[in-house]
């Protein structure tokens, strides 16, 4: 039996063997704690028929645990220098395919059709590069990929915003964007000491479980998101003030906006952060005719 990749000693050995230097600009903070990795994988609830999409395998610490616990792993890695290392460290596992691509530019659906063809259960599991956490999560959700969910390590501050409930200071358009598509929970808080190098911020693991249908049915999704972003533009302002100042031609349409708020049953003096996702749905539908 070989040693797990995710131990301080083996990680150091691999980094030295290849003279690898971390690129901060690529969010390279590798995990060196096998227990934490196993717990992350537990949250994905994989079975022997599951497939996994990983983003940023690094030197393969998480990839190895995923390979042991699923049928197939497809991992996107942007850094070419890691490819020969991964080939070496993951050589015991035949069920891993590394795709050398920037996840944000990748045609993920085509890669699924090609590499994960026939899989009914696909999970995304990743220790995400923190400089692009939000764009990656939004891309995976907006592209409506055939995935069951996402288990991801990210900055605790972003995890808090994603899983925030109405009425809290973390609640905002990101909470709504993610909760529209998924049920979001923070499942672990992770200390800095399990990474090399240690990141500057605290970390957490979130689990996003895709909903069968969006949290609320709306006439027009992109208008719904436009209305939520507008409502949070200036947090201290009332919903009426934000909508009139942020929506195109809003100032001239103030009376119409007031009527729409009334129709949706929302007091115009409330603040965006107090509205539930259902209320934003009712509001964007009530405003729809006025702006479309
Ligand atoms: N999975 C490894 C682990 O847990 O030890 C490494 C995680 S590290 C936080 C993030 C990884 O994502 C790095 O390997 C980095 O090179 C890679 N990466 C950064 N930006 C990327 C992108 N846009 N597309 C794909 N991979 C990316």
Domains of the chain: 8-210 (3.40.50.150), 221-291 (1.10.8.100)
Q: Is 127 annotated as a binding residue?
A: yes
pLDDT at 1: 57
Pocket test for ligand 1, best of 58, 131, 155 (most atoms within 8 A of CB): 58
SS3 state of residue 291: helix
Structural element, H or E, at residue 149: strand 149-155
pLDDT in tens, 76-112: 999 999 999 999 999 999 999 999 999 999 999 999 9
**pTM score, two decimals?**
0.96
Q: What is the mean pLDDT of the chain?
A: 97
Alpha carbon of 28 to ligand 1 centroid (Å): 6
Q: Does the structure show a pLDDT above 80 at 57?
A: yes
CA–CA gap between residue 200 and residue 37 (Å, rounded): 20
| Beta carbon of 33 within 6 Å of any ligand 1 atom | no
| Beta carbon of 60 within 6 Å of any ligand 1 atom | no
CA–CA gap between residue 58 and residue 26 (Å, rounded): 10
pLDDT at 292: 85
pLDDT at 152: 98
pLDDT in tens, 118-156: 999 999 999 999 999 999 999 999 999 999 999 999 999
SS3 state of residue 184: strand
Alpha carbon of 179 to ligand 1 centroid (Å): 25
> Measured at the alpha carbon of residue 132, what is the angle toward residues 128 and 134, in degrees to the nearest 5?
90
Specify the DSSP class assigned to residue 165.
P
* Cα–Cα distance list, 283 to 26, 32, 221 (Å): 40, 47, 12
> How many other C-beta atoms lie within 10 A of the C-beta of residue 273?
18
| Beta carbon of 31 within 6 Å of any ligand 1 atom | yes
Ligand 1 atom, smallest distance to 37 CA: 4
* Cα–Cα distance list, 212 to 56, 59, 155 (Å): 28, 35, 27
| Beta carbon of 61 within 6 Å of any ligand 1 atom | yes
* Cα–Cα distance list, 143 to 30, 95, 147, 162, 248 (Å): 28, 25, 11, 18, 27
Ligand 1 atom, smallest distance to 106 CA: 24
């Amino acid at each position: 039996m070989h040693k797990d990749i995710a131990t301080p000693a083996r990680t150091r050995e691999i980094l030295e063997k290849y003279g690898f230097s971390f690129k901060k600009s690529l969010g390279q903070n590798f995990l060196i704690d096998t227990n934490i990795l196993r717990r992350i994988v537990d949250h994905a609830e994989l079975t022997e028929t599951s497939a996994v999409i990983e983003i940023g395998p690094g030197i393969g610490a998480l990839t190895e645990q995923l390979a042991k616990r699923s049928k197939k792993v497809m991992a996107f890695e942007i850094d070419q220098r890691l490819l020969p290392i991964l080939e070496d460290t993951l050589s015991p596992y035949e069920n891993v395919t590394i795709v050398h691509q920037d996840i944000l530019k990748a045609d993920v659906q085509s890669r699924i059709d090609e590499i994960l063809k026939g899989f009914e259960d696909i999970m995304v599991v990743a220790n995400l590069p923190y400089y692009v956490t939000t764009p990656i999560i939004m891309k995976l959700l907006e592209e409506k990929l055939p995935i069951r969910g996402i288990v991801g390590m990210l900055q605790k501050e972003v995890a808090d915003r994603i899983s925030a409930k109405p009425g809290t200071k973390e609640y905002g358009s990101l909470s709504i964007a993610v909760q529209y598509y998924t049920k979001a929970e923070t499942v672990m808080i992770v200390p800095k000491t399990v990474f090399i190098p240690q990141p500057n911020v605290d970390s957490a693991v979130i689990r996003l479980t895709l909903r069968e249908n969006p949290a609320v049915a709306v006439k027009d999704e992109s208008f719904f998101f436009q209305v939520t972003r507008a409502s949070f533009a200036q947090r201290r302002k009332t919903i009426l003030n934000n909508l009139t100042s942020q929506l195109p031609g809003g100032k001239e349409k103030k009376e119409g906006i007031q009527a729409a708020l009334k129709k949706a049953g929302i007091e115009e003096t409330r603040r965006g952060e107090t509205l539930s996702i259902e209320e934003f749905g009712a509001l964007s539908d009530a405003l729809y005719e006025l702006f479309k």
